[in-house]
Amino acid sequence: MTRVEISIEREWRTFRRPPTFWLRAPSLLLLLLGAATASRAQVGLPLEIVDTPTAQYRSVVVMALTPSTVTIRHPGGIAQLPLAQLSPELQERFGYDPAKAQAHRSQMELELATQAAAAQQRDLDEKELRQRYRSTGAVGRALARLGTRPSIRPIDLRADFMALDIDAKNQGRQPSCAVFAIVGALEYENARVVGRIEKFSEDYLIWATRRASGRQVGAGGGGSGGFYSASYDDIGFSLEEVLVALRAYGIPAATEMPNVRNARMSQIQEPEASVVDSARNHRRIFSESIPGVQASVRIDNILHVLNEGVPVVVGFFWPHLRGRAECNIRTGDGASFGQHAVTLVGYISDSGTRDGVRFIFRNSWGKQWGVDGYGTIELGYLQRCLTSAAVVDVQPVGRWGN
């Protein structure tokens, strides 16, 4: 199978190496760790008055203490005060040592400088990868043709999905079709990059989207998947919400956070910190919305991307009263107010023209629905009812030597 690379806007997180400063100064590290242990005893300490050369604070509570500063809460808010500006009595109580304070300030300045340098390097890497993607990748080739009429040369990725063992999953009680649509596309692209199938955790991405969006269980729907919120006590998400969470939290293998079959969102437990760290750092997450002010232009752009063998995730209004039984959606079908998200995996055209296009989509209602979990939707209906469209991809850290 031909390997296809994607050109897309990105956010990623790479492994962070500890500053070499710590390796060069073990004695200072032990000194600072000892100071941190002592400072914990001061947290929560109430103080009636704290004087500095510029202000006086009353009814103070100590929130944090470092070798060079103390952070306090007072009726007017929160303040961080240099220990060097406090009275000798408070300096003694807080264990102030000018040498330790200077070492702490130097360490903080070095760490900030290290982080700034790393951020600058990531920006340079991003620019380089963007140029490389857009000049050589599949979506780069598609982007070069956006806004033009696409050629109609039917493509069908179903056999590739099946060969990679990426079956149409059943979202069950979870009205999170956007999550299932995006994960299916990610698994497909990841398998083509690394040469083997790796299942990702939908449950993790559901948790991450709830966390990133601040959504509460039982709060009602409105995004893709909201169509089912009346039937379940959970909430669906829009494609945009899931993509934001994906970039922020990444996604782990299903072996790291197994999916609980047919679980409601309220039953999904918060992942271990090690799982979140792994999800953020062992993948680069890419996504790009497919543009088009006019619906017809966006449809043409979707066809350009599909022509390059890249699946497209879409959100649209599901047909009125069609329910789960009918898998072939026609142009004249009436639309409901409920949105649904699916993965487009190709299209066919019996007439060989654009007007005759029927998109092939992978649903999230199990293999028993439609034809092994797949259905079709006529171009006219999708053009009328489309709400969002995006391409997604993952890349293992280090694929380009970065």
pLDDT tens-digit readout, 29-83: 444 444 444 555 577 888 888 888 888 999 989 888 888 898 888 988 888 899 9
pLDDT at 388: 92
User: Which one-letter DSSP state was computed for residue 201?
Assistant: -
Nearest Cα residue to 299 out of 376, 383, 381? 383
Average pLDDT over every residue of 133-148? 66
Report residue 183's pLDDT band, with 50, 70 and 90 as the boundaries.
Answer: very high
Asked if residues 55 and 47 have their Cβ atoms less than 8 Å apart, the reply is no
Tokens in use for 120?
A: 């600058």
Structure tokens at 234: 């959970």
Amino acid at 348: I
Residues 155 and 346: their CA atoms lie apart, in Å, by 5
Answer yes or no: is pLDDT of 345 > 90. Answer: yes
Closest to 207 measured CA to CA, from 263, 131, 140, 148:
263
pLDDT at 133 over 80: no
Q: Which residue type is seen at 107?
A: Q
Helix (H, G, I), strand (E, B) or coil at 78: strand
List the alpha helices (DSSP H) in 41-97: 88-93
Distance separating alpha carbons of residues 308 and 138, to the nearest angstrom: 6
Q: Whole-angstrom Cα distance, residue 40 to residue 34?
A: 10
Q: Which two tokens stand for residue 365?
A: 């209602």
The one-letter code for the residue type at 233 is D
Four-point Cα dihedral 360, 322, 176, 302, nearest 10: 30
Residue 289: predicted pLDDT: 86
CA distance 74 to 77: 5
129: helix, strand or coil: helix
Q: Decide: helix, strand or coil at residue 196.
A: coil
Q: What is the mean pLDDT of residues 309-336?
A: 83
Q: How far is CA 401 from the centre of its chain?
A: 23
Sequence-separated (6 or more) residues with CB below 8 Å from residue 227:
175, 221, 236, 318, 336, 338, 339, 340
pLDDT-wise least confident of 70-74, 230-234, 257-261, 322-326: 230-234
What mean pLDDT value characterizes the chain?
77
Per residue in 165-184, is it b (16+ CB within 10 Å) or e — as a string? ebebbbbbbbbbbbbbbbbb
- Region 346-362: what's the mean pLDDT? 95
Cα 312–chain centre separation: 17
Q: How far is CA 56 from CA 49, 76, 79, 84, 391, in A?
A: 7, 11, 11, 15, 56
Per-residue buried b or exposed e for 108-119, using 16+ beta carbons within 10 Å of the residue's own CB: eeeeeebeeeee
pLDDT confidence of residue 141: 74
Q: Is 267 helix (H, G, I), strand (E, B) or coil?
A: helix
More confident position, 159 or 22: 159
pLDDT tens-digit map of 248-271: 888 888 899 988 776 676 778 888
DSSP state, residue 96? -
If phi over 0 gives left and psi between -120 and 50 gives alpha, with beta otherwise, what is residue 160?
A: alpha
Give the per-residue pLDDT at 139: 64
Domains defined for the chain, CATH in brackets: 1-136 (no CATH), 137-396 (3.90.70.10)
What does residue 10 show for φ and ψ, rounded to 5 degrees?
-145, 155
Both tokens of residue 251?
Answer: 């996604």
Using pLDDT thresholds of 50, 70 and 90, give the confidence band for residue 6. Answer: very low
Answer whether 178's CB lies under 8 Å from 341's CB.
yes
Residue ranges of the alpha helices (H) in 164-294?
177-194, 202-213, 239-249, 273-281
Query: With contact defined as beta carbons under 8 Å apart, do 392 and 182 qualify?
Result: yes
Element (H, E) at 40: helix 26-40
Average pLDDT over residues 91-107: 90
